[in-house]
Amino acid sequence: MYKYALLLFSLVLLTSRISHAQVRRGTGLVRPNYQYSEVQLHAYTGRLAIKPESREQFLQATRTIAQLARKEAGCQSFYYYEDADTPSTFLLTSTWTSRSALDTHLAATYLVDYLDRLPHWLATPSPLTFYDILKARTTMLQVSK
C-alpha cells in the first residue's frame, strides 16, 4: 500500500511540475486567449544620465513639468525615477490616452522650454522613445489540442 501511495504522489508531483512549466511558458494544455484591440495608450520614456552638477536644476524643472503635465487633458501618468544603483540617472515615463493629447503636450510651451534646457543637463545623449500601446485582455482559457 505504501508503494502505491508513493507512486501516486510521485505522479501527481511530476505532472503538476510539467503542467506548471507548460502553462508558464504558454505552451501547455491551458493557455490564455488574448484579443488585441486598437491602440489604447501613447507613451514616451527616456533614460537620462544627468551631470552631477546639474542634478538639482534638472530635478526642480522635472518636478515642475510633471505637475503641469498631470493637469493636462489626456495625461494618464507622468513619473520620473532615479536609478538607485546609478546616481544622477533617471527614468522618465509618461502615458497619454490619445495621440492628440500627446501632441498637445509635446507642443506645450513649458515642455518645449524644458526640452531646450535638457541637453545642458545631460552627461550623455539620451533619446526619448515613443510607444503606441495596444490593449490586450484575456477573454477566456482554452484547452489546446
The H-assigned helical ranges of 41-145 are: 55-71, 99-107, 109-121
**Could you give all domains of the chain from N- to C-terminal order, each with its CATH number?**
36-137 (3.30.70.100)
Mean pLDDT of 133-142: 56
pLDDT of amino acid 21: 37
Residues 6+ apart with CB under 8 A from 92: 44, 45, 46, 47, 48, 62, 79, 80, 128
Residue pLDDT, tens place only, 41-92: 899 999 999 999 999 999 999 999 999 999 999 999 999 999 999 999 999 9
**Closest alpha carbon to 123 in 70, 75, 97, 87:** 87
Residue pLDDT, tens place only, 94-116: 999 999 999 999 999 999 999 99
pTM over 0.75, yes/no: no
Coil vs helix vs strand at 86: coil
